Amino acid sequence: MDELLNEVQILKEKVKQLKDKMIGEAQTKEWLIRPFFEKLGWDFSNPNDVLPEDDDSTGKRADYAFLVNNSKKLLVEAKSLSNPLTDEKMIKEKINYCNNSGVHFLVITNGELYKVFYTELKGQGSEKLLFGFSLSDNINLNLIQLLSKEALSEDKLLAFAENFKKRKEIQYALENLFANGDIKLVNLINNTIKEKFGHIYPKDVILENLEKIEIKFKDLESTLTVNQVETKNKIPIEVKETDDVKEYKPLKTEWVQSYSLYNKFIERLREKNFDFHITNRKHYLKITKNQETICNIVQHKDFLKFYFTTDYKSILNLIPNELIQSKQIRDVSKIGHWGTADTEFNVKNEKDLDYAIKIFEFVYSTK
């Protein structure tokens, strides 16, 4: 495990070095994608392991087909490092290619971001996404190892996917029972209440309260390790009350640009050994020190909106004039916004992150 982590860290550094070089697809495959899969046990010189440019019955092809015992287990579509992997038409075409080839799993990657699709999931295109990860974010070796030759040989990826599929289908059924106020569910709840407390409630009272309950499954990524995948059969579930609105999910992984910026921001804070706490609010993330807010973060598709709890004028010396003149940073003390903070800063790229870190350091020092 430690050896794999070291190898992935090396690739992570290589991604950083190549980011600004605008390398093409062929270079991305040679310098990033192929080394990644080689570290996972795939031999690109062995036709029994990897078939390059493999055609389906219609003549369409994937960049690589990975085989186990002469059977195709995984198809890989490679794109250039700069490709955001958001082309829905392309995703659907490659999933159709999987269906034509009788392969359940598809990886679409740009050498940094890896998206893994399972064709047996309901829906189309991105709805069939099983999981994804970025080498530039916090590394999840459990997910990465699911793409190894060993894991595919032992059907661990398939077991993981089937557990995920069961979870999604059960979650769908439960959510519909709660949302539609199924009379069987109402009766079951009333019977339980009567046994325990000696009374029942009218149907409308139960339905009103059911609307305030969210069924939340704990994420399989955090509850399953590679070795547990084939034996874990209980689906962890948490039922919790909400404030009439389902809990806001601040980070959308499909918004690759802003999701990556957030993870890099948090990673850099941890590298500097800041002592902070992150809280999920309904519409934003809040970062605090000793229960005092330092900043709030709102995710947009291509950028992050930071709200720092400091006077706008106090940090102007930390920011270049062009950002001030373009109003990328501005005083919002008299403007409505999420959370309580006076200075707004739109972070669009890694250079902006440098300034966000400087502002964070300044505000942190005042708490």
Residue 198 backbone zone (phi > 0: left; psi -120 to 50: alpha; other: beta): left
Q: Tokens for 248?
A: 């806001």
pLDDT value for 226: 36
> Do 168 and 149 reside in the same domain of the chain?
no
Out of 241, 274, 289, a domain closes at 241
Give the distance, in angstroms, between the CA of residue 278 and the centroid of all CA atoms in the same chain.
17
Question: pLDDT at position 259, please?
Answer: 87
Both 173 and 305 in one domain: the answer is no
206 in a domain, yes or no? yes
pLDDT of res. 237: 40
Amino acid at 13: E
318, 273: one domain: yes
For the domain that residue 20 is a member of, what is the CATH number?
3.90.1570.30
What's the total number of domains in the chain?
A: 3
8 A C-beta contact, residue 113 and residue 131: no
Q: Which of these three, 123, 153, 183, is where a domain ends?
A: 153
Range of the domain at 200: 158-241
CATH number of the domain encompassing residue 337 = 3.90.1150
Please report the pLDDT score of residue 215 as a whole number: 56
Tell me: do 342 and 357 sit in the same domain.
yes
* Residue 172: how many other CB atoms lie within 10 Å: 12
pLDDT score recorded for residue 188: 86
**Strands 105-109 and 71-78: what pairing?**
parallel
HSE, side-chain direction, 13 A CA sphere, residue 115: 27
Q: What count of other Cβ atoms lies within 10 Å of the Cβ of residue 285?
A: 21
pLDDT in tens, the chain (367 residues): 678 888 899 999 999 999 888 899 999 999 999 999 999 999 999 999 999 987 766 667 889 999 999 999 999 999 999 998 989 999 999 999 899 888 999 999 999 999 999 999 988 898 899 999 999 887 788 899 999 999 999 999 999 999 888 888 887 777 677 666 667 788 888 888 888 888 888 887 887 777 666 555 555 444 333 333 333 333 344 444 343 333 335 577 778 888 889 989 998 998 888 889 888 776 788 899 888 899 999 998 889 999 999 989 999 999 899 899 888 999 887 765 555 678 999 999 999 999 999 999 999 998 8
pLDDT of residue 197: 86
Q: What is the pLDDT of residue 78?
A: 96
Is residue 250 included in any domain, yes or no? no
> 70 in a domain, yes or no?
yes
| 102 and 59 housed in the same domain | yes
One domain for residues 134 and 178: no
Of 86, 118, 153, which one is at a domain's C-terminal end?
A: 153
